[in-house]
Amino acid sequence: MAGGIGREIALQHAREGAKVAVLARTVTAIEETVSLIEGEGGQAIAVSTDIIDLAAVENALTRVATELGPVDILIKNHGSFQGFGPIWDCDPLVWWRDVEINLRGTFNACRSAAPYDVGAG
C-alpha cells in the first residue's frame, strides 16, 4: 500500500478512524503514506516486509497486532504483472516471480493475519 490505489485505500480508512499498518518492501514509499495519514491526524505505522517470505510476513503482522491491536480488516493490494506477453517472449523466472507474489503473497498475508483477527478463534 505504498502508492496509487493502495495509498488511497489506506488514507480513506484512516480518515474513517482506522489505525492503519502500511506494508510493502519499499520503506520510503510506505513511510510517505504514513506521513500523509499522520498529517491528516490519523494513526499509522510503516512495516517493511517481503510478501513472499512467510516468516517476514508473520513477523510484520505480529508487530502490527502489538502496536495497533487486533486486525479488523486485511487489504491485500499487492501484485506483480511483469511476466505478460507471448509465451516465447516471457522470461520464465519473471513469470514465476509474479506467481509467487500474487498467489503466495496472498496466502502468506491471510495466514499471518488470521491469528490476530478479532473474529478468529
Residue 117 banded pLDDT, cuts 50, 70, 90: confident
Q: What is the pLDDT of residues 5-31, one digit of tens each?
A: 999 999 999 999 999 999 998 899 999
Instruction: Supply the pLDDT for residue 84.
Output: 87
- Alpha carbons within 13 angstroms on the beta-carbon side of residue 105 total 19
Task: Tell me the domains of the chain and their CATH numbers.
Answer: 4-116 (3.40.50.720)
pTM of the model: 0.86
Other CB atoms within a 10 A radius of the CB of residue 97 amount to 15
**Residues of the chain by 3-state class (helix, strand, coil), percent to 5:** 55, 10, 35
Residue 116 banded pLDDT, cuts 50, 70, 90: confident
Instruction: Supply the pLDDT for residue 4.
Output: 87
pLDDT at 39 over 60: yes
Residue 118 banded pLDDT, cuts 50, 70, 90: low
* Structure-derived torsion over alpha carbons of residues 94, 32, 28, 78, reported in degrees to the nearest 10: -20
Are 35 and 9 in contact by the 8 Å Cβ rule? The answer is no
pLDDT at 110 over 60: yes
Residue 67 banded pLDDT, cuts 50, 70, 90: very high
| Least confident range of 8-12, 66-70, 115-119 | 115-119
